[in-house]
Structure 1
Amino acid sequence: MKVIYNIGKYVMMLKYVFSRPEKFRIYRIRIFDEIEIIGLSSIPLVALMSVFMGAVITLQTAANMDSPLLPVETIGYITRQSTILEFSPTIISLILAGKIGSNIASEVGTMRVTEQIDALEIMGVNSLGYLVLPKVVAGLITFPIIVILSMALSILGGLFAAVQTGLCSQNDYVKGLRYYFIESDVAYGLVKPFFFAFIITTIASFYGYYTKGGALDVGRSSTKAVVYSSIGILLTNYFLTQIILT
């Protein structure tokens, strides 16, 4: 029953989030601020993770190529497919759910327990729209860009690892990247970030907005935001994969 109740509250929250903004100029300024917080601040972490994960995928692929019948170009092919289909869109989003989700939940939750949200409502401001909508829009703008960056850096990290360890030449790796390339795979990888961005920003805002109590409760809300955002990402990933790729 509690799950159904929370889903109902979540749906009602979305109704107020996407209601007509009072002043578009203020929302535009807040969107740019959120783009910096959600998107730009995440780039160093995403870049570091992508380069090393691309290198690890390449090394593990080469280590498990026992059959002499497999061409060396397979290393580049598997690195490309793993990166585009799952690592960059899904794994990076799970990592960002921890970073961004906890940040949003703690920010909004702190505003709730310190009565800043109550002050906004007293002034006649749609607090959900003012606080949550810019985060959702910023997430929808920045997540696909972050995923594209992750794809590129992961593939480059794999290239660096392959060449430096002598597993294959640059030409062989690039041949693998170009082998049986299907444009729809990239489209599939770029569709998922929109769903994941929406899930992370709205679920984190939901648990932050409805926080009750004090500082400890803000921490609990942040934990719930990360857990349920991750669950939402995994479930959505499963259904999107079933719908698009099968």
Structure 2
Amino acid sequence: MRHSIVAGNWKMHKNAQETSAFLNELVNDLPNDKEVEIIVAPPFTSLLIATQQLEGTNIGVAAQNMHQAEGGAFTGEISADMLTSIGVDIVILGHSERRQYFKETDGTLASKVDTALRHNMRVIFCVGEELKDRESKQFQNVVYYQLKDALFHLPKQAWENIVIAYEPVWAIGTGLTATPEQAQEMHQFIREQIAHQYDQTVANNTSILYGGSVKPENAKEIFSKPDVDGGLIGGAALNAKDFSAIVNAI
């Protein structure tokens, strides 16, 4: 069911000790009365610490990635079963950095999504265009095919466990931010494509997050748009007070 979500993607930051200290601060800072789902996505080495430390709180834990195979000779990889065995039932897939640096394709991501869903995991699936796509007016086509090739093979009921995160690649780690109007335009477009592929009910029930340099200063305006259901936060998620301020902007 569609609802507000603020998820913090820590990327390759925070060792075990830093994770524990940060989560202590975050639990003290975050409100308990907000109708918003709060998620943190630490690196693999801190996931067990996070699930144990956050037990009994209103903060969920997500993995930043996982492999599509059930197991096997895949040195350095982590399976869905490994994640669920330590209480992690949410995974971020398709982040632009995975696509860019690790050459993940939509075909690979479709397999990862299928595996996650077989293990009853929820998926935060990232889509978004590069600057060249926006400048050439191809940004909607790019996002459409990312949705089509990785997600539109799913049956309708699977979308109960899918969250979309729209991340304009040109606004990640650059300090640039899509205007609230640009964010709304793309979120509305994504919802329309889901409705066209499935139906309006599926589209209306799918949470779509914005993920491009959200900060305490701009969060409220971005989140006020009708098709923006929260954020996938990068840099600002590494500071407990900033992340809490973004949650409070919902």
- Provide the TM-score with structure 1 as the length reference: 0.28
Task: Report which structure shows greater RCO (CA 8 Å, sep ≥6).
Answer: 1
Structure number with bigger Rg: 1
Q: Which has the higher helix share?
A: 1
- Provide the TM-score with structure 2 as the length reference: 0.27
